[in-house]
Amino acid sequence: MSDLRDKIAEHAYETTAPNGEEILVVDLAATERIACSFETQRRRVEVAALQAGIVPLRYERNLGTLGNQGQIALLEARVAVVGAGGLGGTVSELLARIGVGEMVLIDPDRYEESNLNRQLHSLEDNLGRDKAQSSRDRIGEVNGAVSVTSHVCRLDQENAHGLLSSVDLAVDCLDNVADRLLVAEVCASLGVPMVHGAVAGTMGQVMTVFAGDGELGQLYGSQDKGGGSHGAEIHLGNLATTVAAVASLQCQEAVKIITKTGEPIRHRLLLLDLALGSLETVDLS
Amino acid sequence: MTRVNLRVYGSLRSHLTEGTPRCVCIPDGETVGELCDRLGLCRENVTVVFVNSQKAALDHRLSDGDRVSLFPLVAGG
């Protein structure tokens, strides 16, 4: 480890941060070279740099808010993004940019033309491609230090425990009630926190659920009740604006949980309606 | 009479009679479900109800000055 830190220090250089402070940084090209010569993952180099007080340049604008310890916690976190469509595409992109070290992407679907209006990783030339794999490829372009595993399958009773057993957090980016309640149930049994998000038209909602919290069931009814698995989005559709807003709020919940800062939206439901310009948090306890 | 402040969200808004005021007067003791009926909203479509930012059921009896928020089910991703 000291050899690695010595090598990072050798490549570090001083620069002036926006607040005028002189800081030591290491850039992308150097972290890539060091990772290659030490036969280790790039995020291991980034963590070692942060531990030595040297800032990987790509995260320099994160640190005023997150701090070195917060950035290290993110780089060492493993997050499942369940659903790689509208919410999932934007969530995985934002988590990669902020520097979450490992992601597990789960989605059985392929891109269709009707996805182009809102799903960030859908492109005119990747229609027909698996969403989970396309998001993995995109994350590789955004932040090559992130380790991504993609699973082209629907999360179900048989595979859910295996897919979620080793994650620190799951982000619910699903598009139906039944699968959400399954993820909530499995996360609860594994002690994994879950960040719920859902959209319909200009409306969206976000909530964080820890093991033992029952609010998602309260919101959607128990899985046994069945009932409609879809909501108002069937009539209202989904807009890119609402998807981006809700995905962003979900990612901030993930950051708060991983870095143990701020106050998660727990026992509460955050509701937004972009048509009204309204944002309210309601008590579910 | 009881006066309640009303907020109706998303697709439910399109079922409201045009010009429905934000502040409505209802008979004393009326429930959220009865308010939905009065507004012409199908109870089945009102899946989430909050009264004064607390989750409430359709049989919740409203009081003067209550703030009532009615939501449809939101489940898209």
pLDDT digits (tens, 9 = 90+) for A168-187: 999 999 999 999 999 999 99
Q: What is the pLDDT of residues A114-172, one digit of tens each?
A: 999 999 999 999 999 999 999 999 999 999 999 999 999 999 999 999 999 999 999 99
| pLDDT tens, position by position, B42-76 | 998 898 898 997 889 999 999 999 999 998 889 99
Alpha-carbon distance of A1 to A31, in angstroms, equals: 15
Pairing of strands A78-82, A102-106: parallel
Tell me how far CA of residue A111 lies from CA of A118, A176, A222, A248, in angstroms.
11, 17, 31, 22
- pLDDT, residue A222, reads 52
Contacts of A283 in chain B (CB under 8 A): 53-55
Max CA pair span of chain A? 62
Chain A hits for B9, Cβ within 8 Å:
203, 271, 273, 276
- Of the pLDDT bands very low, low, confident and very high (cuts 50, 70, 90), residue A1 is low
DSSP A128: T
How high is the mean pLDDT of chain A?
Answer: 94
Q: At what angle do helices A2-11 and A42-51 cross, to 10 degrees?
A: 80
Cβ-based contacts of A204 with chain B (< 8 Å): 74
Contact map slice: A 162-201 vs B, CB within 8 A: 172-177, 180, 197-201
CA distance A27 to chain B (A): 36
